[in-house]
Amino acid sequence: MQIKFIVLCLIAHVVGDYYLQDDEMSDLKKEKIGGVFKHSVFYSIPFILILLLFKKSYKITGLILLLCLAHLLIDVVKYYSYKGYLKIFHTACKKNKVKKYIKPWMIYIFDQVVHIILLIAVIVCFGENLYYPIDTLYIGYSILGIDGLTVLKWVLIVLCMHKPANITFKIIFSGCKPKGNLVTSSSNNSVANNSINSSVANNGSNNGAIIGFLERIIIAMFLYSNEYSAIGFILTAKSIARYNKISEDAEFGEYYLIGTLFSTLFVIVIYNFIF
């Protein structure tokens, strides 16, 4: 039961930290401490919904509260560290060493790793002997011959393949984007999808976003069925579709390759972490 609760909480984490956080809230978190607390309120919503799966008890309520407070604590520490208000960073900021050696993508990766490790650690230490009344009626049963835990894992994978993948790519490879080749979008989510797939037309269509999402889901399905060689057909199909653009624009081709390799690597890492 503990592993199932961990997967449930990871789903809640992804929903709260990505899908319930827009660009405005993300910017507000960096500017004001109030933005951190506002994000924490939205982040807590999916965790509160998890309580519906359990028999009401002080233990499960306390555990959910502890998980939400742990997330808030990390965000508060990150806020003050990033601002340079902590003594450990204050001197370094004056010497401009923080900006030189600590890149935004390093902070982003470290932040997510700490969040996930702390979430799992809290559940392992305090989440024993949890009772699932609704779980025994729904999630515990096989769905189309698939174990309930496997269903939860696939829900987590599908969620990770969309907005988390797009945002991660944008943060890590923002400096690699070729100038003038990609369409600007008002949404970070759309921009990231355009970056990964490089296939959104000037009329603002969302084909690139759909292709990228489906590509990662199909790769995950091939990994699950041990059809590793079939993954190559997906990558080949993408390359054929963009052959003219790749052959005519070397800079675009390099960026396209970065996006394709990142997409594949992201799926492999997430899939192996979850399964």
pLDDT one-digit tens code per residue, 188-241: 444 444 444 443 334 444 677 788 899 999 999 999 999 988 888 888 887 777
Of the candidate ranges 63-77, 79-93, 159-173, the one whose mean pLDDT is the lowest? 79-93
Amino acid identity at 14:
V
Give the pLDDT score at 14.
97
Give the pLDDT score at 103.
76
In the chain, how long is the greatest CA-to-CA distance?
A: 64
Cβ atoms of residues 234 and 145 within 8 Å: no
Give the pLDDT score at 130.
65
Please check the confidence at residue 137 and state whether its pLDDT lies above 50: no
Of the candidate ranges 17-21, 46-50, 184-188, 229-233, the one whose mean pLDDT is the lowest? 184-188
Give the pLDDT score at 158.
96
Residue scoring higher pLDDT (21 or 195): 21
Average pLDDT over residues 35-50: 93
Residue scoring higher pLDDT (192 or 35): 35
End-to-end CA distance of the chain: 16
Give the pLDDT score at 28.
86
Give the pLDDT score at 216.
94
* Residue 252 tokens, joined: 């675009």
Please check the confidence at residue 31 and state whether its pLDDT lies above 90: no
CA angle 232–224–233, rounded 5-degree value: 15
Of the candidate ranges 102-111, 174-183, 205-214, 261-270, the one whose mean pLDDT is the lowest? 174-183
**How many CA atoms lie within 13 Å of 275's alpha carbon, on the beta-carbon side?**
18
Give CA 86 to chain center in angstroms: 28
Please check the confidence at residue 274 and state whether its pLDDT lies above 80: yes
74-92 pLDDT, tens digit per residue, is 999 888 877 765 555 555 5
Work out whether the CA dihedral 20, 193, 120, 270 comes out positive or negative.
Answer: positive
Give the integer Cα–Cα distance in Å for 169 and 70: 26
Give the integer Cα–Cα distance in Å for 51 and 59: 11
Question: Where residue 253 falls among pLDDT bands split at 50, 70, 90?
Answer: confident
Work out whether the CA dihedral 229, 235, 240, 246 comes out positive or negative.
Answer: negative
Please check the confidence at residue 143 and state whether its pLDDT lies above 60: no
Average pLDDT over residues 242-267: 82
* Residue 66 tokens, joined: 């502890």
Cβ atoms of residues 40 and 70 within 8 Å: no
- Cα–Cα nearest to 43, from 74, 81, 72: 72
Please check the confidence at residue 141 and state whether its pLDDT lies above 60: no
